[in-house]
Chains A and B, each alone.
Chain A
Amino acid sequence: MDFNNLNKFCVVLIFLIIVLGFSSSVFAESFSDNNDQEAWIQENSSSLLFTYLEANIHVIIKNNNDHAEFFKISQQYSGDGSVSPPITWKVVSSPGAVKMAKNINSPADLGWEINAGQTRDISFKLVSNSTPFYIIMGGSTPNTYWPIINEPGLMASWFLPNEIDYLDPNLDLKLWQGRFCFWIKNVQSKGPRVEGIVRAPIVPIDSNLTASDPKVDFISQMNPSAQTAAWDVTLYPGQSKHYSYTYQWPIKTSGTTVDKQSNLQTTSSGSSDPKTPVSVPTKSTGVPFGLFVVGVIVIGAGIGYAKFLR
């Protein structure tokens, strides 16, 4: 059977193949990188960076001493100094705070004066002043073999209620509520997508995660000193994603004094929601052969028709 127009059609088809080839190369040049095919990436080579970190903290603190004490916050939290710079917080909102005469870190520490026996309600908002950054605990050994992306929950030195306690044992922490927001970005401009787990600390260990956006995929128990909220993320080159979560300590508040020691020693009571996952979906691990077979049959049919039936 002759199809005169098919001649033109096939010429166009061949032209399209060539165009497809060139366009594919352009696509590949935009989204692929010969050097990004690392099977195992050191943390410093992570494709993902935090590009924004914000903390909204609300605490209720009682001064058990017989004289006034100051609840203080620093504007710089530790980093190990070699792998990553410390987190420098910019205090953007601290109603009632005053500048401390003496500070641990520069710039100046801020504080709230709490009179003897007084219980004070304090809120403040901080934004990380140094981005992009990696978060790592001061003096800790960088994890060089696991993360494709940062896993801050395992190494972070964010605000921890017990750090407040370290500052002044006379200040009795009654309530801690923290809302953290952060952005992560795949800083690669080209290459395939990256996948991994982003972790963020929920501290102390018996805090209750009260909200998260997007919903956390699971709560990791890998770190003995802090539970970590974990999201399973997929990011394409240049893509950014926003995460926020809120937690509270202790799980239930009451007018009575909270026994912090017993709380801190308690293991996870299962109060967190969602739970650590008990199952994962199985991934697609094969390309179906069906269409391939169809292709072979179509070629065979074409040849057979040309040879025997034409």
Chain B
Amino acid sequence: MKLSTFFVLVGMLIITLYGLIEVSYYASANNLEVNNSDTPYLEIPKIGIDQAINNKSIDYGIYHEPKSAQPGYGTVALFGHRTFYGSPFLNLDKLQTGDNITVEWPGIGNVEYQVINTTIVPASYLLSIEQGNVLFLITCYPLGSDKERLMIEAKQVKIYPIGKSEKKPANDPPYALIIIICFFLGGTILSFFYPVKEDQFIIFLTTIAITLLLLLAYFFPIPPDSIESKLSWINDLLGV
């Protein structure tokens, strides 16, 4: 086997770790049991967000900071991943002053907010949760880094009753399977066109192994935060 083949295999392994996070996340999301009548939702039409808010973990989508208030009762803080984990806040930076945000909260109603400020703060920033009836949407900044935080501040405009239309579970494509297929196809194409003919079989074999690993993660999701913490550690170690 050539040294170049070794590099290719190492690169494939690194990318596989990122693939594992997404496959585990989407595989878990497929099994999500949402009690629709009790579940709060965040709606931001401008950037296409209409997603459930959870109080379990930021790794399951949009997460309500439990120390902050419920809408209508004070400062609300919602966190969401900007990359991976479904990236609910991927386009948060596209919000502008005056844009509307609605939080549908059972027992309270539809609480409508209006964006008043966008701020970039260091990751060590401590968010005050005694700022009155405002909503903070917080995610990482810049894209692909966790060095800083992007904070969208919105003031409460009004509260009105929730209509009878019930939220239905999002009928998203099977992203986990799509990711696995992409890995398999990408690896197969790479092995087919790889310049070192005698090592093509090794790369194809590795592709099969990676596909198998991702399939296992699909059927038995691995807690993605454990992978994420290791990736962050390696990133910090490499200084990238």
Q: Which of B56, B195, B206 has the most CB of A within 10 A?
A: B56
Which residues of B50-69 have CB atoms within 8 Å of chain A's CB atoms? 52-61, 63, 65-68
What CA separation (Å) do A14 and B16 show in the bound complex?
Answer: 13
* A21 lies within 8 A of chain B by Cβ: yes
What CA separation (Å) do A249 and B13 show in the bound complex?
Answer: 61
* B35 lies within 8 A of chain A by Cβ: yes
* A24 lies within 8 A of chain B by Cβ: yes
* A101 lies within 8 A of chain B by Cβ: no
Name the B residues within 8 Å of A144 (CB-CB): 38
Q: Which residue of A lies closest to B12 (CB)?
A: A299
* B181 lies within 8 A of chain A by Cβ: no
* Contact code string B74-107 (vs A, CB < 8 Å = 1, else 0): 0001011111110001000000000000000011
What CA separation (Å) do A117 and B179 show in the bound complex?
Answer: 80
Q: Would B223 and A192 count as touching, CB distance under 8 A?
A: yes
Q: Which residue of B lies closest to A13 (CB)?
A: B9
Name the A residues within 8 Å of B231 (CB-CB): 287-288, 291
Q: Would B7 and A286 count as touching, CB distance under 8 A?
A: no
* A7 lies within 8 A of chain B by Cβ: yes
* B116 lies within 8 A of chain A by Cβ: no
Name the B residues within 8 Å of A306 (CB-CB): 2, 4-5, 8, 194-196
* A261 lies within 8 A of chain B by Cβ: no
Which size class do A's interface residues fall under? Answer: 35 or more
Name the A residues within 8 Å of B138 (CB-CB): 282-283, 285
* A165 lies within 8 A of chain B by Cβ: no
Q: Which of A276, A281, A293, A310 has the most CB of B within 10 A?
A: A281
Name the A residues within 8 Å of B232 (CB-CB): 284, 287-288
* Contact code string B116-151 (vs A, CB < 8 Å = 1, else 0): 000001011111111000000011100111100101
Q: Would B79 and A37 count as touching, CB distance under 8 A?
A: no
One of B14, B127, B206 near A295 (C-beta < 8 A): B14
* Contact code string B141-185 (vs A, CB < 8 Å = 1, else 0): 001111001010000000000000000000000000000000000
Interface on chain B toward A: helix, strand, loop, or mixed SS? Answer: mixed
Measured between C-beta atoms, what is the minimum distance from B168 to chain A in Å?
Answer: 14
Name the A residues within 8 Å of B82 (CB-CB): 285-286
Q: Which residue of A lies closest to B73 (CB)?
A: A222
Measured between C-beta atoms, what is the minimum distance from B76 to chain A in Å?
Answer: 12
Measured between C-beta atoms, what is the minimum distance from A194 to chain B in Å?
Answer: 6
Name the B residues within 8 Å of A37 (CB-CB): 28-29, 31-33, 60
Name the B residues within 8 Å of A218 (CB-CB): 67
* B11 lies within 8 A of chain A by Cβ: yes
Q: Would A14 and B222 count as touching, CB distance under 8 A?
A: no
* B115 lies within 8 A of chain A by Cβ: no
* A41 lies within 8 A of chain B by Cβ: yes
One of B39, B228, B234 near A39 (C-beta < 8 A): B39
Q: Would A303 and B205 count as touching, CB distance under 8 A?
A: no
Q: Would B130 and A278 count as touching, CB distance under 8 A?
A: yes
Which residues of A26-54 have CB atoms within 8 Å of chain B's CB atoms? 27-29, 31-32, 34-35, 37-42
Q: Which residue of A lies closest to B81 (CB)?
A: A285
Q: Which residue of A lies closest to B211 (CB)?
A: A21
Q: Would B68 and A287 count as touching, CB distance under 8 A?
A: no
Measured between C-beta atoms, what is the minimum distance from B63 to chain A in Å?
Answer: 7
One of A20, A277, A286, A307 near B146 (C-beta < 8 A): A286
Given A286-B81, A289-B83, A302-B4, 15 other A-B residues pairs in contact with their CB atoms under 8 A: A3-B1, A6-B5, A10-B6, A24-B220, A25-B216, A32-B28, A35-B31, A35-B33, A37-B31, A38-B33, A38-B34, A192-B59, A280-B129, A287-B85, A310-B195
The 3 closest A-B pairs by CB, nearest first: A290-B240, A286-B140, A289-B144
